[in-house]
Amino acid sequence: MTKLKVEVQKNCSSDTTESSETLKTPEDYRKALSKMKANIVKDKLVRDPCTDKELDKGINVVSVSYEYANDPKMKDFMTAKSPLTGKTVHRYNYIPQSKEDLEKRYEMINTLAKETFCAQRCVGSDALYALFMGTFLVDQDKTLKTDYHPRFLEYLKYVQENDIAPAGAITDAKGDRSIAPSDQPERDSYVHVVEKTEKGVYVSGIKSPITMGPYAEEICVLPGRQFASHEKDFAIAFAVPADAEGITRFVLSPEVKALEGEFSACHGKKYLNKEAMIVFENVFVPWERVFLCGEYQYTGRYADFFATVHRFSYCACKPAVFDLLSGAAALISEYNGTEGKYLFSDSKGKLFEILKNSDMIKGMGQAAIKFAKETESGAVLPDPKYANLGKFISGEQFPKAISILQDMAGNLPVSLPHENLLQDKEYGPKVKKVFARKEGVSPEDHYRLNELIRTIAASDEGGLLQFGTRHGGGTVEVEKATIYTQSLKKLQECKKAARRQAGIE
């Protein structure tokens, strides 16, 4: 255990009573958002995100994380005791220090994803997790004389005590991918320092797309890549209130709208994911909230820490999504009477192709926990190879699973009559005939299931889910490179084994 960690733990209160909790309720979260300065733009300025139909459903998603943390049945995995404050805090704001912590973090994300598809809060939480390890690492380099880690701990304490769900802003706009960040014709393609003063720094640039961006109280900004020695201005990590002077948050994907029908799927009707493009224009960040500034050598490490912990989060949420796909595929096959052998195909074989993914990804998540390593900072880091493999499998298999679901569902999900006609005295009996398949399944339930499949596989919202599974948390190429690099040592052993078996000296 590091000296700093010992000091942090000495400061802990031994009070374990209920009053030593710092947990917000969903209502507290909404109130905090309503009080913020208006800087969210959809097609026009949004005064209060809680009163906007679509943003409100994104807020519903984050609210579930607050609700579950207050539920006595889920407290064990939704909360943790902070070594910084000695109080019970939301597990999303707690830095895992043991494999048991990772198990509980896994359970939290998996449980939330079962309800919401995407819990959204992982990105900001993983940014805190990465900053914890990153700031500690930089401070160990005594030639740099930095004190980022104690600064960050103060910030983390603030986040814990106010139970804030920050957004994590990692992906820069990036500009022309063939040109280095410092040579971009548009300097704002990467967030950078514009000016340094005694009190802090001024930053400009664009981060996009940012999960939870339109309904976060705070934004944690990290570098998304390694920068070169002449690119020190881009080597910046910091945290700011999301309504700080100079920030504009643009709500993305205008087509992804709140569904409102009686038979609409839960995701769309109650929950919706909304992302933001965050534009920073000469935003002032006081030094106490700056967690990297110019130490370009460490930018890649910050990005790597984030990538590993976020891909571990994917290992926790994606099994829930694949399980939902499996359930929808099995049910529609039952409703349509296509279970078992049907013409040339076998529904079991198709179902297996979806079903296997959940357990494969879960297995990678468990391996990432088993081989996790304690870092000098005191935080435990999931194994990068297995975390990346879990994310890689989910990205690769998701389009295949969607395609199988489309195959099993037939054309009905995209050929549904208007739902209000189902209850119509004149048209209802005619319209319901299209659902006359398996006896005992009501036309309404048939409609509901087809509408769920449409939402997952053939809607704007489903498109966002599919793109997100592919690109969220980094590209497939980076995942492959990480898996390959992590396997190099093993590859030498593999070659040795092949030589031995072949009889090569």
Contact (Cβ atoms closer than 8 angstroms) between residue 242 and residue 167: yes
Which of residues 298 and 314 has its CB atom nearest to ligand SF4 in the complex?
Answer: 314
In angstroms, give the least distance from the CB of 131 to ligand SF4.
17
In angstroms, give the least distance from the CB of 127 to ligand SF4.
11
Measured CA to CA, the distance from residue 220 to residue 169 in angstroms comes to: 6
Which of residues 313 and 388 has its CB atom nearest to ligand SF4 in the complex?
Answer: 313
Measured CA to CA, the distance from residue 168 to residue 426 in angstroms comes to: 53
In angstroms, give the least distance from the CB of 365 to ligand SF4.
11
In angstroms, give the least distance from the CB of 464 to ligand SF4.
11
Measured CA to CA, the distance from residue 466 to residue 457 in angstroms comes to: 9
Measured CA to CA, the distance from residue 469 to residue 453 in angstroms comes to: 17
In angstroms, give the least distance from the CB of 141 to ligand SF4.
31
Which of residues 204 and 211 has its CB atom nearest to ligand SF4 in the complex?
Answer: 211
In angstroms, give the least distance from the CB of 326 to ligand SF4.
18
Which of residues 471 and 496 has its CB atom nearest to ligand SF4 in the complex?
Answer: 471
Give 17's contacts (C-beta < 8 A, 6+ positions apart).
Answer: none
Pairing outcome for strands 290-293 and 236-241: antiparallel
Distance (Å) of CA 48 to CA 124, 164, 168, 314: 21, 18, 21, 31
Which of residues 123 and 412 has its CB atom nearest to ligand SF4 in the complex?
Answer: 123
Nearest to 109 by CA among 305, 368, 354: 368
Contact (Cβ atoms closer than 8 angstroms) between residue 275 and residue 210: yes
What residue ranges bind ligand SF4 (CB under 6 A)?
109, 113, 118-120, 122-123, 211, 313-314, 317, 472
With residue 373 as reference, give the H or E element that holds it.
strand 373-374
In angstroms, give the least distance from the CB of 165 to ligand SF4.
11
In angstroms, give the least distance from the CB of 279 to ligand SF4.
22
In angstroms, give the least distance from the CB of 210 to ligand SF4.
11
Contact (Cβ atoms closer than 8 angstroms) between residue 249 and residue 181: no
Determine the length of the chain.
505
Measured CA to CA, the distance from residue 335 to residue 320 in angstroms comes to: 22
Residue given tokens 């000695």 in the structure block: 86
Which of residues 146 and 313 has its CB atom nearest to ligand SF4 in the complex?
Answer: 313
Which of residues 332 and 401 has its CB atom nearest to ligand SF4 in the complex?
Answer: 401
| Burial of 86 from C-beta contacts in 10 A (0-12 / 13-18 / 19+) | middle
Which of residues 102 and 122 has its CB atom nearest to ligand SF4 in the complex?
Answer: 122
Which of residues 211 and 299 has its CB atom nearest to ligand SF4 in the complex?
Answer: 211
Which of residues 65 and 336 has its CB atom nearest to ligand SF4 in the complex?
Answer: 65
Measured CA to CA, the distance from residue 429 to residue 417 in angstroms comes to: 12
In angstroms, give the least distance from the CB of 314 to ligand SF4.
5
Give 265's contacts (C-beta < 8 A, 6+ positions apart).
Answer: 259, 448, 451, 452, 454, 455, 456
